[in-house]
Each structure stands twice: as structure tokens, then as C-alpha cells.
Structure 1
Amino acid sequence: MEDVNMKKSIIIIDDEMPSRESLKTFLAWENTDYYILREFDNGPEAIEFYNHNKVDIIITDIQMPTMDGLTLIKIVKSINKQQDIIVLSCHEKFSYAREAMRYGVNDYLIKDMLTEEDLLEALNKSNRQQEDLVVEKTPNTSLNLSIEKLLDEKDTFDCPPEVEAGYYVLFVIAFDVPMVTQDAMNCDMDFESIEKVRNALEVNLGITRERLAQKGNRQWVLLTEMNQVSSQLKYIYDSQSMATRVRKIISEMMFCDFTIGISRGFKGISDIIHRYEEASDACKYRVFLGENKNIFYNTVFTQMTNFNPNRLDEMIDKAHKYMEAGNLKAMLDTVESIYLEDIKGFMQYNYIRYVNARIISLLVDYIRRNDLSYGWVFGKDFIPLNELDDHNTIEEIIAWFSTIIKRIMEQNPSEEEQDYSLRVLQTIQLINKHYTEGIQLTDLSQRLGIHKVYLSRIFKEETGKNVTQYIQELKINDVKKMLTGANQSIQEIAETLNYSSPQQLSSVFKKETGMTPKAYKKLMFGKLVKASKLYS
């Protein structure tokens, strides 16, 4: 007989008996840290029991007779604000998910899409919010496997038999850093930060330093070694347990949210690049499944075949380009199409929150780079994120952004709205399209079929700048954006914007702004912190 004294208690509340029975057999509960204490088919009986018994986690449906799930959650939270609650429902309405999250539930799962990984992650998320975890070391070979080398397809890496016999799971750690909060200050993915985490992982978990590396923007990759697993549930449980330990260590040092994508387990390292792609893909789906979670590739593969997170990036990039070009109508149409994606329920709730943050970041960056007034655009001296949270429908959110975008454009009219001649307007359009490709005055004059001296003269007369200055200004604005946005190195920025070297970029940037790129980045983080405090 299992010892329940060391396990977390769960009560299930669902008016449908098949759903309760299904949940009772969904996991091999005896192999987890949880046990089902009681089950109820209605809210009032569950509340009566709750008032006289200790319950660690509540799993409840939404639509039930006598008392619906939202009412039950509200009553429970009035008794114990810290109570952990997981919603498990067949209802995918945005309004239900949004209201449940406002009441402070831990997760909102959909019955028809539920996987073992989902349920265990939701339970473990509740568990780690209740208490500090005991961090245990995990068995690792004494060999120093460099994950950086293993992921470099150009390298050939001969491994001893004991490495090939090992069983591994690969984590991709993607930092969910909002542009407008103080978390951005604490989540600078620099060399010093990753070194501190490497040391902590080695001391606390026995994971050698070489198994953690930075890969891409705001993304780390970690190779973990596990005991050979005998079942799917054992793999889920062991991987989830390790991810939770890793999360605890990083959270204590980085003070910001991040998503951990978890690959399928694998023996040996010959297939490691494929497993990295799995974990990386899992992270991308935080757009739909929610940020600051551990997401298994298995979950993505089973649930999310109809959704493409890359499409969202493409649409936001398109909206950004329209805004830079001053094409207000096209930008509004693009933003509207982003919000009207056919996504339901809690996935829609996560999607809307993610899109809100991305569009707000885009607008704030534009406002900052063009020296516009927060007061005029938002009607306040800070970014009123609470206004977005107060909207009940997608239509209201779209209308809010429409108002903000129109105010921005009123303060900063586009190039097309200026009184330029046709030739100068055509030149500006060409520059805006090709300035990162190294286009120069000679190229422009040849494309337009006019003499470069004449073009240079009329361009300076109408814009107040020569062509080189105009191009340089665009590139410097992009440098500013990249320094305060994604975590790109000076080398990467220089390559993107067609500078001959990082040194040339730094020299030009200092000449134009009076400070080095590093100093500018530090200054902007300081302003973000100030804006965050004003909002708070």
C-alpha cells in the first residue's frame, strides 16, 4: 500500500462520471508525488469538504450544474488565496479562460487535448509554487561533453563507448523577456550570467560546465543525463523533475521568466542535432501553451499540428515594416489579422497575451526611437498595460491598438505624407527597402536613371540630409533597436546591417550618438526600469 503521507493530495470536481474515472486512470498515480483524496460531482459538496480538510491541489471542471467552476474557484480563493487550482474543461471559450486566470488558477487544460506531460507539468508547477524543492544531483559521466561542439554540424566528435551508452534529454531554455519591465535589466544574456549558472549547475546538480551553452538570441541549451527509463511516464517524470531543478537554480540567479523545451529521450549523442530541434520547436509553442512553463516536444507533436508559431513572427515583422514605412492602413489590417487567428480557449488566452506584449514592444520601440511623447500616445506618462488586461473581447483589443497607432502616426507623419518630389520619394522608398544591403548614391541614381549629382542636390534640398547621412540614420536606428531588443552581439548586428566590422559599427555609432553601443544599451535598460517603476 502506498504511503500517501509524503504525497500531495488532490480532489477532483466534475459532474460527469466518465471524466472523473478517466482522470483517475490517466496517470499511474502510485508512481507520482500525488494521490487523489476525493472526487465530487458538484461544487457545494466539494466546498463543504474543503472547509474541513487539507487539500493541496484542486482539479475542477468549468460548466457544472448547481455551481459552475468559476463560482467554485472564486469561493475557494476567498477562503485561501494561495490554494492551487487546475481547470480541466472541455470549454475553450476565451472568456472562460481569461476569467479563470484572473481568479489565479495555476493552469487551464482542455480535456480533449490533455497529455500526460500537460497534467504532470501543471501539477509540478503547483508543487514548486508551494515550497522549495530539494535539489538533488543527477548521475553524469565524468567525461566533459561540450554541447557547443556537439551542436556544431561541422565538427566530428568521436565519443567513447560509455558516452554512446548514456541516456540523455536535451533542454532548450528560452527567456521570456518583456521589453517594458525591469525583468529586461536582469535578463541580459551576457557571458557573466551564463558562467554563474554553469557554476551553480555543476555544484548543485553535478552537470559539468560544458553541457550548458548559449545558442541564438536569449536561448540556452543544456544536455542532461538520465537513468535509463523503462516507460513513457518514467521519462516524463524524470525529465520534469530535472527541468524543475534546473528552473529553480536559474530562477534564483536570473529573476525572470523562461520556458524550457524538452526533447524526447535519446541514447548516445549521434542524433543530438535532431533532439535540439525538437526542444527548440517545443519552446516556440509557448505562444499557444503559455510562457514560463516546461513544454515537452511530445505535447507539441500531439496537440499543435494545426498551429504555426513562425507565421506569427512573419506577421509581426510585416506589421513592423508597414509601420516603419508609415503605411497606417496596412499595419492596422495586419494587426487585426494577427488577433483574428482561429484559436480557441486557453491557447487563445496565451496567444493574446503574447501578441499584446510583442505589439506593445514594437510600438514602444518606435516611440522611443522617434522621440515621441508617451503622454500624447497613451494619455499617461507610462505604458498602461492594465488597459489591455481590462478588455473583454478581441474587438476591444483591436480598437485599443487602432487608437494608439493612429495617435503615433499623427505625431510622426510618414515620409509619403511629406511634400517631396516624385524623384526624392522614389529614392526614399528604394533606400528604405535596400539600406541594409550597402546601397549607395551611385546605385540609386542608376536605378532611377538620373545623374547622381542632380539626385544628391535635390535630395539634400528636400530632406535636409545627404543620401549617406539618411542611410546612416536608418542603420543607427536599427542598431539602437537591436541593442535593446533581441540579445544580439555587436558582431551579429554589424553583419546584419552590412558594416565592414564590429569596430566600424562601434566607431560610427559613437560618432552619431556620443556613446558606445554598450553604454547606450546600459542607458536604455535604465530607462526601461524607470518606466516599469512608473507603471508599478
Structure 2
Amino acid sequence: MRKLKVLVVDDEMPARETLSFLINWKETAFEIAATAKDGRDALDKYYSLHPDLIITDIQMPVMDGLALIKTIRQENSRQKFIVLSCHEKFSYAREAIQMGVTDYLIKDLITPQDLYAVLVKVEKELEEQKTVIPPGSGKNVPAERDEFDDALRNMALKTIILENVPAGAKQSLAERFGLNLTGHYFVLLLVQLDDYEKKKNILDYSAWKEVKERIYYAIKDALEGGLGGECFYYQNGQFILIARLEEIGSQLKFISQSYEIADRLHRKVRGAEKASYTIGISQGFYGLTDVPLRYREALEVIKYKIFFGKGKILFYNKIFSRLHAGNKDMMAKRIIQIQRAIDENNRAQLSQEVRALYREDVQGFMQYNYLKETNAQMYGLIAGACHASRITYADLFGCNYIPLHQLDDLDTASEMGEWFQNVFVHLIALKEKIDDKKYSRHIKDAMEYIAANYRRNIGLRDVAKALNLHKVYLCRLFKQETGENLINYILKVRLEEAKRMMLSTNHKLYEIAEQVGYPNIQQFSVVFKKLTGVTPREFRNRNFNP
């Protein structure tokens, strides 16, 4: 099947290259057949190439994108265009829409999903063009006119909410398009379709469009049940709306009115499209001047569904008054414990620590950026364990990199913890397969004996006797396969267990010494400092300050 040809027009080479790498074009019905650096260059290539789709920037030297569209439209009114620009100005968008472009996307905001969706839309329009409409068939012009008007209204609303333009200009737009934004006091709500990526991936373009429309009209219905307002679909499963409120005399009244609107929204959208929705609520505001700031507030508070879970109603002012510092030291201890569980192939300990980290420590900490830092440390554990055991990412993930996008698609801290737990369990299974091949039966038996008996005063003679081997033969074999002598290995096992207990318990140092096989604290301290360079007390103080 012939690929549909795409001509990309942009005066910036990085922008042209970014578009070519943003998606896997082989998965689409399109291919980038050529690129052009300005409108005049694009015209030359248009006549020789006859592309099915032109993706063009607006502001370019020699000939800009709008002039390019006008020129080609004079000769071919059916040519498909997508405008891709840094400019989210209403004037640009309105002129592009009036010229009949298929879509208008913003460079800094476009996602692979956005581009995939609009390509499907273009493909469908091209298929429809192949169907000849018989004369007198009565093409639905009024419906097209309504769709055109809706597009202009949405662009005006986007300008009011997302752009920092003068309040007078925003008010003029609201009046020109009859937007229901009269009044003095408002609240902005962001309705986020949870699991957006999963739903989007299983639906084709037409089905996804129907889902968006059902949710949109449910939101409109909810707004009409109150004092009114306006809404539009933005991107990535987000619906933005401004709702009118009564004059507020207290914070309690604001919360009560806002919650009533959000609760009505929840019921309406769930009834229209069965799914989970998280709603972020900004602070209240007068007039339209500060709407972009209120949008950022609602967007910021939506992030905290990571901690609270999906399907919640989240207030910006209430959430941020509840942020607290938490115990960073406890979280650091969890990371150390997870590292130890990986080293020891201890699945039970690993599961316990990961669950505690993501369901107790992280959620108790309540800082979004700290969650990112925690995830980064967990990535480090994966990379370190793979390197130490010579496990490739291809063996672990089925690709030659850590698939960070999988974690980005998750909505809650608990889901992230489950993802890491599954990765580590798989990692341990791969390590065990390697260990089975790496060590002989005698050495594996020796390690198992030491792990079970290191708390006793054991040595080379005890291990050799338990395995029914000559001690000289065992000593030589152990050194040959592990690279260290057996006595040092026993000391290392005791030392690591002692470190774990110092960082994860409140036991006294003399109690820890006894539990790892030393008759007294003095001998334990001498050995510990010899191997680590610090005393047990110094080690605990440096790594954990309760």
C-alpha cells in the first residue's frame, strides 16, 4: 500500500528533525517525503512532489506559513495542512482555521499521542475525499458551520485561559463569542481522565472523538446545573473549565460551592463515560486577568493524585497547606534495605521494603519532586544490579534501555512501587540463573551454610566439616570461584548484616555485635573499623540521624 507523502516546512532545522523523531512514522500511513526551510522552498517542492499532507510553521522568512497555505489553496482547495507553531495567539489560530487547516498544534506542547491522533484524522479526511458526493445530495453545511464556530469559540477560550493577554482583550473575546463568563468571581477546574493513555491506545480516532464529546457535553450539563461557565478539551485527557461562583464571604463558603460543582461534575462525567476522573480545583479569582495562574494551580494539584490515588477531588489551597517535610532518613534507609534485598536475592524482604517506601514513606512525605528523586535512586539500583551481575537491559526489559516511559504512564505512587517490585523480582530471577551457572555445587553449599550460621563463631574448619570436604581443598576452590578467601567472606556477611541492623533498627551496638557472631563489642568494633575505616558508632551517625 502506497504511503501518504508528507512535506514538513520549518525554518529551524532542529524543529524539522524533532518532528521526524517524535513518532515512529513506519507505524502510520504517512512518510516524510521532503522538508523545506521556508514557504518559497516549500512551493517549489510542492509542485514536484504533490504531497498528501503539509505540516508547516507559521512565522518563516521569505514566505510565511499563512501565505503558503493561501497560495496553495488557490490551486488546490482540497490540500491538507497541519499548522505546527510556537504561537498560540488567537489571531494566528483563527486565520489558520478559516483557511480550513485540519489542526493547529503548539510546538512546545505537542506529544507523540497528539501527532498520531491528528495523522489519523487527516487519513480519515483523505479517505472521505475519495467519495464523490452526488449533486443534490444535501451536504450538511449547517453542521460544518457549527463545527467551525465551535473551533473558534474553543480557540478564544484557550486564549483567555492559557495566554497572558490584557484583561480587556480577554473580555472582548468573551463578548464577541458569547462565552458564559459574565460575573465577577470564578473558579477553574481541571478534569483529568485517569488512565488516559490506556484508553487512548485501545480506541481508534472516531471512537476516541466520541468519548471526548460525551465527556464534554456531560461537563456542559454540569455547568448549566450551577451558575454556568465554559469548558473545552485541551490535551492528554484534560478538560479545562471555568465555573461562575456567587460572591464569597469566607473560605468555607468557597470550598463548599467549589466542591458542589466538582461533585456534580464527577457524577455527570462518570454517567456519560464510565471511567475514573481526578478533578483539580484552583483558588477562587475575580475577573479574567489571572486565569493562566489558576490553570497552573489546578494542573499542579492534579499531580498529587500520585499520593492520594485516582478519582479524587483535590483543592489547591488545601493540598499545599498539608505538605510536610517527612523523614528523609527513613526513606534513605529503605533504599539501603532494598539494595541489600537485591544483593541477597531476598524476595520477601524486597517486597516489604518497596511497599513500605511507596505506600508509607513517599506518601507521607507529600513532595512531588522528592518522588522523582526516589524514582531516580531506584533507577540507579536497577542499573547497578544489572552491571554487577552482567545482566543486559534486553534480558530484563526486552529492550536496550530502561523503559522510563512505562513509569511515566502510571498515575499513583502505589502503581510505581508495583512496577519497581516486578522489575526487581525479575532481576533476582535472572541473577539466580547466573549464580547457578557461576558457582559449583560445593561453593553454593558453602554460601548457604554461612548464611544460615554466621551468627555462630564459625570458621573454615566448621564449613569444611559441614560439607564433608578437606579444608585446604575448600579454601582453594572458594578463592578460585569467588575471588576472595572464605574467612573474609564470612566477615563480609557479618559486616553487611551489622550495617543493615544499624540503619534499620534501634538496637544497641553491643546487641548487634552479639547477633552477628561477635562475643563482645570490642572485637566487633576492631573488625568493623579495619574493614570500613570507621567505627560502628561513626557509621551509624553518618548514615542515620533519627
What is the TM-score with the length of structure 2 in the denominator? 0.35
Which one has more relative contact order, counting CA pairs under 8 Å at least 6 apart? 1
What is the TM-score with the length of structure 1 in the denominator? 0.36
